[in-house]
Structure 1
Amino acid sequence: MIELNQVNKIFSAKKRSVHALNDVSLHVKKGEIYGVIGYSGAGKSTLIRCVNMLERPTEGSIRVNGVEMTKLAAPKLREARKNIGMIFQGFNLLKTATVYENIAIPLKLTGVPKSEIDRRVKKYLDVVGLEEKADSYPAQLSGGQKQRVAIARALSHEPEVLLSDEATSALDPETTEAILELLLKINQEFGITILLITHEMHVIQKICDRVAVMENGKVIEEGRVIDIFSKAAHETTKKFMNSLFPEDIPEEVLMSLHQQGPIIRLAFVGQSTGKPALAEVAKRFDVYTNIMSGNIVQLKNEPYGRMIVHLQGSVEQTEAAIAFLVEEGVYVERVDGP
């Protein structure tokens, strides 16, 4: 549905060049929710703006639903953009227009008949749960309600692709949850492909099927969310993971414990999160298990748990315990060891 191949974007400013995107290639499948995460300056905003040509790439190919966006002249580009909705962090609502008008005016400007405008406005206000706010003005709405209006406006063009540019970063945690649930509903009910960018790992965890991690204009890690959670390889990815699974264990503690046995990181996926694996280890082997940190979160389709455990015992017994955990479907990674 969305294909980026070897995309580069170079900005020139004050006699120097900034390489905002560096040989970026991504393939977003039809009907999935694909997340791009990175810290400020990683290039993710430039990337998403290149998809609908708000920023034109310096080099590379961008195809949306089979259409090569970089080759389109202005009239054809305007037509192609009707198939690509976009929601922003700042809502971008007209302050002097009602909720109804904020959705209707863009439709009118693109030549949609009046009767069809009325149908779409009412339909998508109902989808986002704001049908009773049709005559309200943006100043009378909460931040979450404003974002719902922006989502209804994007949906009113009935696109196949929805781009989300940090849509929840200005919202409080409870409202963020509600907006994420709404995006999930839209994806499931309408089959709309969603490409979103964020700096919050919680957003990726909650609704995404696959994720790309960006740093300095490059994609440094990419794959299914469950795989990235289980086998994060890059240090930046591990930092994002630490926001969900804090592992701030003092170095002195690690040094002291590793002399008595290995310290391991365990990852539990799906049904294995409910297995009493550590209890079985304590029964089967002559080892003591000390849980140093841990948490379970719900991914889009399955639960995922992670913990840091110290195994105290002989080398023979601790190695046998680790082998047993692997056989039980638990991902095991050594944090430190004797």
Structure 2
Amino acid sequence: MIKLSNVSKSFQTKKGTIQAIDDVSLEVKKGEIFGVIGYSGAGKSTLIRCVNLLEAPTFGSVVIKDKEVTNLPAEELLQVRRKIGMIFQGFHLLKTANVYDNIAIPLRLTEVDKEELDKRVTKYLKIVGLEDKHDAYPGQLSGGQKQRVAIARALAQEPEILLSDEATSALDPETTESILELLLKINKELGITIMLITHEMNVIQKICDRVAVMENGKVIEQGRTVDIYARATHPTTKRFVNSTYHKELPANVLQELIQTGPVVRLSFVGESTSKPVLASVSTKFQVSPNILAGGIIQLKQETIGALVVHLNGDQEETKRAIAYLEEQGVMIEGVEVAHV
């Protein structure tokens, strides 16, 4: 549905060249929700603006539905953009227009006839749960309601792709949750492919099928959300994943524990979640597992259990215990002394 190949974007400033995106390649499949996460300055906003050519890539290729769009004539590019909706952190609503007109004005500009226009406004206000707000003005709405109007406006163009540029960043946690539920509904019921950017791992956790992690303009890791959670390899990705567990062990405690055995993170996915494998370790090996921290992460379609465990025992026995756990489908990584 969306394919970026070796995309780079640089900006010329008085202080020199800024490389916002550096050789990024990724593919968003039809019907999925694909997330791009990174800290401020990672290049994710520039990346998503390259998808609909609001920013023209300096190098590389952008393909939408098997059509190369990077060098399309203006009229053809406009036709492609009409199938790509976009929602923003700042809502971008007209303060002097009511809810109905905020949704209707873009349709009028594309010469949608009045009957069809009214039908679409009514339909999508109902989908976003604001059918009673036709005549309200943005100043009378909460932040979550404003974002719902912005989503209805994007949907009224009946796009095949929806881009979300930090759409929940300005909202409180409860409202964020409701907007994420709405995006899931839109994806499932309307079949719209969604690509979103965020700096919040809970957004990825809640709704994304796959994710790419960005840093300094590059994609440093990407894959299925469940695999990124369970098998993150880059330190930045690990920081994002660890932030969702909200568990941290003091360095001095870890330093003391590792004198008598390794401290490891165990991730349980799929069949391994139903096996009492940790309980078996103490009976099969001369190792005493001590659970230090733990949590359960509910992803869009799967559940991951994570435990931080101290394996108290000599080196050979703990090696055998770790090999046994891996044979049982448990994913294992060592815990750094500085943090969990």
Amino acid at match of 2:266: L
Q: Distance in 1 between matches of 2:294 and 2:224?
A: 22
For the 8 Å contact 1:8–1:57, the answer to whether it is kept is yes
> What corresponds to 1:286 in structure 2?
286
> What corresponds to 2:320 in structure 1?
320
Q: Distance in 1 between matches of 2:187 and 2:282?
A: 44
- SS of 1:87's partner is strand
Alignment gaps of 5+ in structure 1: none
Q: Deviations over 1:295-321 (max 9, x none)?
A: 111001010121210011233433333
Q: Distance in 1 between matches of 2:334 and 2:140?
A: 54
Q: Distance in 2 between matches of 1:214 and 1:94?
A: 33
Q: Distance in 2 between matches of 1:184 and 1:331?
A: 29
Matches within 5 A, 1:201-216: 201-216=201-216
> What corresponds to 2:120 in structure 1?
120
Query: TM-score, normalized by length of structure 2?
Result: 0.95
Q: Deviations over 1:254-293 (max 9, x none)?
A: 2211121221110111343343332232344433221112
**2:80 matched to 1:80?**
yes
Q: Distance in 2 between matches of 1:58 and 1:335?
A: 40
Matches within 5 A, 1:159-174: 159-174=159-174
For the 8 Å contact 1:258–1:336, the answer to whether it is kept is no
> What corresponds to 1:131 in structure 2?
131
> What corresponds to 2:307 in structure 1?
307
For the 8 Å contact 1:37–1:44, the answer to whether it is kept is yes
> What corresponds to 2:40 in structure 1?
40
Q: 1:15 to 1:264 in 2, by over 3 A?
A: closer
Q: Distance in 2 between matches of 1:142 and 1:308?
A: 41
CA RMSD of aligned residues (A): 1.5
Moved over 6 A (4+): none
How many residues end up aligned between the 2 structures? 337
Q: 1:266 to 1:13 in 2, by over 3 A?
A: same
Q: Distance in 2 between matches of 1:141 and 1:272?
A: 47
Matches within 5 A, 1:242-321: 242-321=242-321
For the 8 Å contact 1:99–1:138, the answer to whether it is kept is yes
Q: Distance in 2 between matches of 1:3 and 1:201?
A: 23
> What corresponds to 2:227 in structure 1?
227
Q: Distance in 2 between matches of 1:317 and 1:18?
A: 52
For the 8 Å contact 1:262–1:334, the answer to whether it is kept is yes
Of 315-324 and 239-248, deviating more is: 315-324
Amino acid at match of 1:332: I
Q: Distance in 1 between matches of 2:271 and 2:127?
A: 33
Q: Distance in 2 between matches of 1:216 and 1:313?
A: 42
Cα deviation for residue 335 of structure 1 reads 2.8
> Percent identity, aligned pairs only?
65
For the 8 Å contact 1:213–1:222, the answer to whether it is kept is yes
Amino acid at match of 1:142: S
